[in-house]
Structure 1
């Protein structure tokens, strides 16, 4: 199996980022939300929908 230097770099960054937040998913999500808010980009927030209400279409 070949290794891509780009994939290796992404994995290294992901590991460092998780370690910086003590591998705590709540802290990671809080940081992401904070960064998103500071970016000034428009964010769309939608109410969750129940899967049961969605129609499942067959591939026929």
Structure 2
């Protein structure tokens, strides 16, 4: 079976990070938001697209 080394590394890092917070999703999100805030990078938020209203003809 083919393995993607990049994805394997991402999964490993994600697992290690989650383990640090005892898999508490709120704590994980809080930590990521703190890291995002101090990163100095511009955050761009794109609004969700609304589904188009198509009439059934």
The total of aligned residue pairs comes to: 54
TM-score w.r.t. the length of structure 1 is 0.65
Higher RCO (CA 8 Å, separation ≥ 6 residues): 2
Q: Which residue of 2 aligns with 1:38?
A: 38
Unaligned runs of 5+ in 1: none
Unaligned runs of 5+ in 2: none
TM-score w.r.t. the length of structure 2 is 0.67
Q: CA deviation at 1:14?
A: 0.9
Cα RMSD (Å): 2.8
More helix by share: 1
